[in-house]
Structure 1
Amino acid sequence: MPPLQEIRKKRVCTSCIDELVLKSQVRRGGLREKCSYCGRLRKTFSVSELAEEIDIAFQEHYVRVDDDDDGFGLYAQYALSNDDGLPVVDAIGEAAGITIPIASDIHRVMESGYQSRSAYEIGERTPYDAESHYQRMHPSDRGMREDWDAFGESLPIQLFLNLLGFSESEAG
């Protein structure tokens, strides 16, 4: 297994990335270099750069589903289906549209970014440790429905106050 510093420097080209948003980011901001995985000369990001982008995507669109106490409470009941998620390397590969060898290298970089001696000493799991499973969050309209219900409840009161000639600032 190559050292982490070598993995960080590897280059991944647009031909090796199927996910359209990530591919367009590499096309816009990447350097034209030889891909470490397919050997083509194309626009590339380093594995480190891809790991940063994928970490952001995971924070916004994925949830770790393997913890007993995941801290999501009721949100998880509405936003997630009932499966066990994908192992972290598979989830990275699926999210970015990349092969498992590339996903494994990106995982090593992501995992190393969250490791700490104190977490290791107390046996605390980190977000991207090898046993982690992730699941894509499904869009939920729960917040929008709650806002709509609150609006619907306040509407008759606002109409009544307007009929009496009160403005919102005078009534509140």
Structure 2
Amino acid sequence: MSEQKKQPNYFEFYELPIQFNPDLNTVKTKFYAFSKKFHPDFYANESEEKQQEVLELATLNNKAYQTLSNPKKRLKYVLELKGIVETDEGYQLPQTFLMEMMDINEALMDLEFEPDVEKMIQVKAGISSIENQLSSELNNLVVKYDETSDESLFPAIKDIHYREKYIARLKERLNP
């Protein structure tokens, strides 16, 4: 039985509350401060153990910054940190959403066999409209969570996260 490695808490590392929209100036300030503090050149004369420890802290700092400064990565990270989303989880999207996506997938298949500029523009506009609606709903939910820490919002946030992933895959098909 393999023991799963505990994910580092980047918010704790940067002394921030767990939020979907942390103060990005603080994130940047902490990143630069730790980049200086944990720069390997300052530890060249230290023991091998100390050099390794500093290298691990520098790596943690880089990963924390990359994750917390990117809205999509940060959303997924917060959901994973809270145990709401698991890596490679098989999430079941709602049937109504899948039916809507089936229409778009059929239109995309038709376009592969019979390219049609007008139809392509319509499909792209439809996908864009769904994407904007999801983004707006998600933004409202994460702002509400950041203000209230109401964890009952997590299922809705998780659902939109997976819908957005689905839409991103559709967009990849549009722009190969």
* TM-score band, normalised by shorter chain: under 0.3
Structure with the larger helix share? 2
More strand by share: 1
The structure with the larger Rg is 1
Q: TM-score, normalised by structure 1?
A: 0.23
TM-score (ref. length: structure 2): 0.23
